[in-house]
Amino acid sequence: DAEITQSPRHKITETGRQVTLACHQTWNHNNMFWYRQDLGHGLRLIHYSYGVQDTNKGEVSDGYSVSRSNTEDLPLTLESAASSQTSVYFCASSAQLGTGELFFGEGSRLTVL
Amino acid sequence: KQEVTQIPAALSVPEGENLVLNCSFTDSAIYNLQWFRQDPGKGLTSLLLIQSSQREQTSGRLNASLDKSSGRSTLYIAASQPGDSATYLCAVINAGGTSYGKLTFGQGTILTVHP
């Protein structure tokens, strides 16, 4: 079955370190998204991509970057991790922009000490 | 800016009861509305997707309705079971402005069904 996988599922890092969270989907979806989920804030969009070589900033993009070199992967990089970036991160994908159903990965829990 | 509100924030019901979760949104320029379920420590599982041209969708004991003009959706769960306990999130895919094609989520309703 097609799926969307995230790794690592749990990570602890120190302030200032670079961290990359991986997202891989096997649906061949063009559209991929990264969200963070925090108590009191719900799910907020970090970055998104509508296809290879396309990346866009979401509402909370500061301190994060993404790259899209192929259809399957959208890695999220924290250039210099901060304690405020402790969160649960979710990757999602959809086939059709706007009308397509969104599918989520299981999440990556990141703790920045 | 699109805002999505879910009421109630938490709900506790006895097993077997029928229940309704509410979702409202401020901008009616949407492509669709999607209901998700999230279990503790897990990702989001899609329950129902309603296109903006539709009024409702059904899947098993779940029925979701959409009134786009009034900015409201309801998720009806029939004959609730303890296994339905989870957080339920609604999200709209925006059709206008700078939010085009992106989801805006509500804060969720935490549902507990006790035996």
The confidence score (pLDDT) of residue A89 equals 98
- How many whole angstroms separate alpha carbon A46 and alpha carbon A60? 5
DSSP A2-53: --EEEE-SEEEE-TT--EEEEEEESS--SEEEEEEEETTTEEEEEEEEEETT
Give the rounded distance of the alpha carbon of B48 from its chain centre.
8
The confidence score (pLDDT) of residue B41 equals 86
Spell out the per-residue pLDDT of chain A, length 113, in tens. 669 999 999 999 999 999 999 999 998 999 999 999 998 788 999 999 999 999 999 989 999 999 999 999 999 999 999 999 999 999 999 987 766 788 999 999 999 99
The mean pLDDT values, 10 residues at a time, for chain B of 115 residues are 93 96 94 93 92 93 95 97 97 80 89 96
Half-sphere exposure of A49 (CA within 13 A, CB side): 25
Neighboring chain A residues of B34 at a CB cutoff of 8 Å: 101-102
Neighboring chain A residues of B31 at a CB cutoff of 8 Å: 98-99
The confidence score (pLDDT) of residue A2 equals 64
- How many whole angstroms separate alpha carbon B111 and alpha carbon B88? 7
Determine whether the interchain pair A103/B93 forms a contact, defined as Cβ–Cβ distance below 8 Å: no
